[in-house]
Amino acid sequence: MENDHLSLAISATKSIESGVLSTFSVDASGYPFGSVTPFVLDHNNSPLIYVSNIAQHTKNICNNPKCCLTVFENTKDSQNNFRVTILGDAKKSEDPYHEQLYFKLFPEAAKYSKAHDFSIYYIDPIRVRYIGGFGKIYWIEKQQWNIDQAKWREQEKDIISHLNNDHHDTIEMMLKSFAEQDSSAEVLTLDPRGCHIKGNKNIYYFKFEKLCLTKQQLRESFISIAKRLKR
């Protein structure tokens, strides 16, 4: 049984599409350098970033891989909302899956490589700081954060295809819960805590009520979602 703050921290991070990447500056030695960077969490909850070799933050992490990614809700009352800071080492990815996953959620990024030399880097977490609001402050260790618990992972593509083809009405209702209606609603990613759904305007992260580690738990979760949204 995982801690509530761990589940909330991961789900909250998956619901945000960009954060502040802080690196050690090459040009101003010893000083931090912050830049706004889109990201995706992979199956192990490691952030993936797609960066150009000519970008300042890329030059910084090539010189010193130590960095952190800070994710937060862009609201007026930011002190009472969640913040997640992932500390780790940035490493260039050689895994084709990382690029495929990134382009699923940021399809427009695929054309960037034609203009400059872009690469996928992943941040290997060392420790994570989660603040869920005033007085709700936790450190999350690497072995808690950086883990894929899904027992259905090898069947992920088939499960997503089944959801989109055979349960499209439920996917449409899930999209409507974000105040968007689109007949081409599509599940893009799936993890034990939720899924990304593509609509006409945006991509949304739909959080499950319970952790789904098995296919049966996934099935029960989508049945529950369908019943609740039909009310």
Q: Which of 93, 111, 145 is the last residue of a domain?
A: 145
Q: Name residue, tokens 């098995």.
A: 214
- Same-domain pairing of 203 and 97: no
pLDDT, tens only, 112-141: 876 668 999 999 999 999 998 777 899 999
Contact by Cβ (8 Å): 122, 98: yes
Contact by Cβ (8 Å): 128, 145: yes
pTM (global) more than 0.85 = yes
pLDDT, tens only, 194-230: 999 999 889 999 999 999 999 999 999 999 999 999 8
Q: Which of 118, 145, 172 is the last residue of a domain?
A: 145
Question: Residue 180 belongs to a domain with what CATH number?
Answer: 3.20.180.10
Residue 52: CA count within 13 A, CB half-sphere? 11
- Same-domain pairing of 125 and 164: no
Contact by Cβ (8 Å): 68, 86: yes
Q: List the domain range (segments joined by +) for residue 20.
A: 4-145
Domains in the chain, number: 2
- Same-domain pairing of 201 and 140: no
